[in-house]
Chain A
């Protein structure tokens, strides 16, 4: 008996459908229904882990920051904290607070970015424009304090580069107030807008069991009720002093993933305000030797997309022996390859975007297998297909 299978090769761009590559997913479709999914990465593989072995720890700070343009500070913090542990150095409360401030600001920026992209995937372009316009407020706060919108280079090994002035505090607080108002609007849209719910409710449902077994992390896991958040389970930086209330949703579907991320924004605002209003005292940096004592350390942090895992091995020299970086999107991809099965091809764009895949953290490929012929379907077409299907 011959099954009709279609093969679509769907290259996916990083964040916008108009962008070509570096993504390549492979879907096997039987008529309308997806029967299996695999991935192929490679477009953004820059050989970072290898390069790290021939650069000093300080040079590596700048390298790891640039793994991803969206979650750059969290990478640098994971690395710096890991090296500080190896060196037996403790940073001051002020340093921890400033690092945490930026970690939360980055989360706000990332979730707003994701909201816009996810909205665009579903055909809600106005929402995309709104959220990215609002995101500019966070970028302004970044720039006011650190001097750059992206890749703020806050960290040193042993501390942070700059302090926060009262002027900057005032400006940032104002920005946060504005953003909180906007977050309330977004919450209303994702929970009450019928068209939006039509594309997100009961789509891509992942049960708590599945999420646990498939090692889902981050908001993707929390949207299925799994209590997994490194800031809560294994607090680092300033989180012991500024604890996070974990945001969960039992829905497990795409709608839940939207809700979790927007609710997390409120937590971010709260923590940022607390830090800005009560910056603790402390030196901005402590001296760390160029040669880091030999040893192995594991550094785990909660990136906006989920758990980021760093394994650093030092051989006592100026350059690391090995640095292993496991980014959250790699974990969450496995959930897609299971959950996608049984869904319609038209659901794929929204499903993929639901895990908030970071293409530069792990670039991705999409192909849809077909028995005899192979068809290249641009992501834009797949997205339009999805939008049209649900009209």
Chain B
């Protein structure tokens, strides 16, 4: 199928930058990369004219509960950059720890990413360094700082003002 060729191409483009490559579905490629390589990866995809940036998802993966003596895997936040070319989807996945939640902006390479980066910042609290417009996109002006609704720690049942005090 056509998408198989595209996926192979994407792997070739990113093989030096990606740490780990996975195929969750036949038409999808997940590339785990360090944030320091994110901009280069985005540039490589754009230079090769491999598709377009379709979406930017955030993920909150908190540490699982400790069971007995087993050491707990630290939780992390993740930013997923989905690029689409016809039926193929390549996702750049950047994991960041809670206490150092930064990713570089890719707006210098893909200007239209600004809206997605704004949304990522306010809903997950992942700071996008050097993003051209850091203003809020969807949360209300009165929404307190430091409260990130899409994090698992925000249950939505608390009054956000109280949640801000507790975090």
Contact = CB atoms under 8 A, between A and B. Distances in A.
In the complex, is A directly touching B at CB under 8 Å? Answer: yes
Interface of A: 38-42, 45, 47, 49-51, 54, 85, 212-215, 233-234, 295-298, 300, 307, 309, 311, 313, 322, 324, 326, 330-331, 333-335, 338, 363
A295 to B, nearest CB: 7
Q: Could you tell me the dominant secondary structure of chain B's interface residues? A: mixed
The 3 closest A-B pairs by CB, nearest first: A334-B112, A234-B87, A326-B55
B114 A334 contact: yes
29 contacts: A40-B137, A45-B139, A47-B149, A47-B156, A49-B150, A50-B149, A50-B156, A214-B112, A215-B52, A215-B54, A233-B86, A234-B86, A298-B82, A300-B84, A307-B54, A307-B84, A309-B54, A309-B55, A311-B80, A311-B82, A313-B59, A324-B57, A326-B54, A326-B116, A330-B116, A334-B111, A334-B112, A334-B115, A335-B112
A307 B58 CA distance: 19
Contact of A42 (B24, B57, B112, B137): B137
A335 B111 CA distance: 10
Interface in B126-156: 133, 135-141, 149-150, 154, 156
Contacts of A297: 24-25
Contacts, number: 90
A324 B80 CA distance: 11
Contacts of B59: 313, 322
B140 A215 contact: no
A331 B57 CA distance: 14
B102 interface: no
Contacts of B72: none
A149 B59 CA distance: 36
Given A214-B111, A215-B53, A233-B86, 19 more contacts: A39-B115, A41-B138, A42-B139, A85-B25, A212-B52, A215-B54, A233-B87, A234-B87, A295-B24, A300-B84, A309-B55, A309-B82, A311-B82, A313-B59, A322-B57, A326-B55, A330-B116, A334-B114, A338-B111
Given A49-B150, A215-B52, A215-B53, A42 B138 contact: yes
Nearest to B156: A50
Contacts of B56: 326
Contacts of A214: 111-112
Nearest to A85: B25
A255 B76 CA distance: 48
A215 B135 contact: no
B115 A330 contact: yes
B40 interface: no
Contacts of B123: 49
Interface in B47-67: 52-60
A240 B148 CA distance: 41
Contacts of B111: 213-214, 334, 338
A215 B141 CA distance: 28
Given A47-B156, A296-B24, A311-B80, A40 B54 contact: no
